[in-house]
Amino acid sequence: MNPIVLSIPIFFILIGIEIIYDRITNKNLYRINDAISNISCGIFEQITGVFAKVFTVAMFAVVYDQFRFFTIPNTWYWLLILLLGVDLAYYWAHRMSHEINLLWVGHVVHHQSEEYNLSVALRQGAFQKVFTSFFYLPLALIGFSTEFFLILTAYNTLYQFWIHTEVIKKLWVFEWVMNTPSHHRVHHGRNPKYIDRNHAGIFIIWDKMFGTFQKEEERPVYGITTPIECWDPVTSHVKPFTNLWSDLKIVKEWKFKFQLLWMPPGWLPKKYGGYRELKDVVPETYEKFETKLNVQMNWYLFIHFLFIIGGASIFLFGISNFSFNEKILFAALITLSVMSTGFLFEGKTWSKWFEASRLVSIGAMLLFVILNSSFLIPFTISLLLIVLASLYWLFRFSSTQKNHDE
């Protein structure tokens, strides 16, 4: 089992603890729409990752099986060396994801949130691993096995969960070598002095060695220089590509189009205006993207999101029990569900019809199970009743929500 999937319950327990702390201290670290959008992006990344692994894992395995120079034994001291190797490869993959347009579109999703809390750690880009998997191939060539590479890359990711918080301040001596919340808050800042700094995964020494370290000074303003302004995880993934496409249409010459793909975000040829300079941000006057719903709809979305998390967990924990067609169906249903949640949070006038279609589809599937199977009939009937109650709740209260259509 993937250690990240196994850690899902721990993630949510820690997020719950941070939310309780936030409510007690009144620090306003969480907004329900932002947190659910973050987790939705994580769900989308994990669901699509089931299929992306056919490319990312297979590529490493092929290089290891066919082209490795040595065979490194899986002993504890070699695993420590592999841990350093994985983290160094992560540093360069992460750094290049900030400095190359083509890679940035896969990573930018992780930086879109304008808050900084543990839910942001789950906001991952579904395309990032596909774009950056090449950086790890030297480890396969050296002869580190695919199995232990996958385990250590998972633990590299797990380490980075706890550094997405404002609750933990500076950690003194620990910060000399290790990546910490303070270091990583800098990385998520959109202040010009903080952009493209502190790319480390576990060990901050790479940033200090290669000149990308910046200590935390004033509190960062979080997010990206051009806010995404949506709560839907699929739009969050697609919009960076459309933004890059818009820049490509500005540039007419093919040599500049190709160059644009490999230049840093914000770059244009001089004849088209040149590099777009970053503007400083003032925390006191900066306004975050926000939409408001009535209390009933917030509760509706929160409760339904718990069902979505449950469905995604069943899918990820039981992935080996599903046929390929069942995986496609399950993945599509979960994706539509998180999209619908985002649309409703945005208050779009047509979002309730999108949600109603989702509920009717689920109801039809449950009715099919009731009529054609004896499997867990009472449980299935209970879910069908929940679907019917949800349809009533949706049309009863969605009409009073505030509309935020553009």
Residue 368 has pLDDT above 60, yes or no: yes
Q: What is the pLDDT of residues 252-288, one digit of tens each?
A: 999 999 999 999 999 999 999 999 988 888 887 899 9
Q: What is the pLDDT of residues 282-295, one digit of tens each?
A: 887 899 999 999 99
Q: Does the predicted model carry a pTM greater than 0.85?
A: yes
Q: Span 312-319, mean pLDDT?
A: 93
HSE-up (13 A, CA, CB side) for residue 38: 25
Q: What is the percent of the chain where pLDDT is above 90?
A: 86
Residue 183 has pLDDT above 70, yes or no: yes
Q: What is the 3-state secondary structure (H, E, C) of the chain?
A: CCHHHHCHHHHHHHHHHHHHHHHHHCCCCCCHHHHHHHHHHHHHHHHHHHHHHHHHHHHHHHHHHHHCCCCCCCCHHHHHHHHHHHHHHHHHHHHHHHHCHHHHHHHHHHHCCCCCCHHHHCCCCCCHHHHHHHHHHHHHHHCCCHHHHHHHHHHHHHHCCCCCCCCCCCCHHHHHCECCHHHHHHHHECCCCCCCCCCCCCECHHHHHHCCCCCCCCCCCECCCCCCCCCCHHHHHHHHHHHHHHHHHHCCCHHHHHHHHHCCCCCCCHHHCCCCCCCCCCCCCCCCCCCCCCHHHHHHHHHHHHHHHHHHHHHHHCHHHCCHHHHHHHHHHHHHHHHHHHHHHHCCCCHHHHHHHHHHHHHHHHHHHHHHCCCCHHHHHHHHHHHHHHHHHHHHHHHHCCCCCC
Question: What residues are paired with 203 via a beta bridge?
Answer: 178
Q: What is the pLDDT of residues 115-150, one digit of tens each?
A: 999 999 999 999 999 999 999 999 999 999 999 999
Q: What is the pLDDT of residues 142-160, one digit of tens each?
A: 999 999 999 999 999 999 9
Q: Span 38-54, mean pLDDT?
A: 94
Q: Of 3-7, 159-163, 327-331, 402-406, which has the strongest mean pLDDT? A: 159-163
Residue 373 has pLDDT above 80, yes or no: no
pLDDT value for 278? 84
Q: Which two tokens stand for residue 383?
A: 């879910």
pLDDT value for 266? 94
pLDDT value for 307? 95
Q: For residue 381, what pLDDT band results from cuts at 50, 70 and 90?
A: confident
Residue 342 has pLDDT above 90, yes or no: yes
HSE-up (13 A, CA, CB side) for residue 237: 21
pLDDT value for 402? 53
Q: What is the percent of the chain where pLDDT is above 70?
A: 97
